[in-house]
Amino acid sequence: MSEITIYHNPRCSKSRAALALLEENDITPNIVYYLDTPPTEEQLQALLSKLGMGIRDILRRSEAEYDEFNLGDSDLNEEIIFDIVRKHPKLIERPIVVRGDRAIIGRPPENVLQLLDD
């Protein structure tokens, strides 16, 4: 099985549940504490490619920074959004779990089991 990585926030119940599901399936993933070590723009681009999503698709709209930086503005340049997300990584939806060239957002946590089907 390919190595599995989880972009994890231990304070998030969904992230903790996704990690527990992996561990229940005898998987010890690489854990990236993305709030402590925010992904670079290149890493974000790679994650988005594996997710098949754009940067706007992984934004947590409930975070105060979403409104503070007017991230709902469709005219906002993506380069600016990447810069904001790198400086405020809690805007990234969590958890993101990666296996090979595939990734999934663990909301609900059971979504991560789709990566184990190979």
For residues 21 and 63, give the distance between their C-alpha atoms in angstroms, rounded to a whole number. 26
Structure letter (DSSP) for residue 92: B
Which residues are the active-site residues?
12
Residue 9 sits at the vertex; the CA angle it makes with 32 and 67, to the nearest 5 degrees, is 115
Q: In a 3-state reduction of DSSP, which class is residue 98?
A: strand
- Give the type of residue at 17: A
12 with 89: CB under 8 angstroms?
A: no
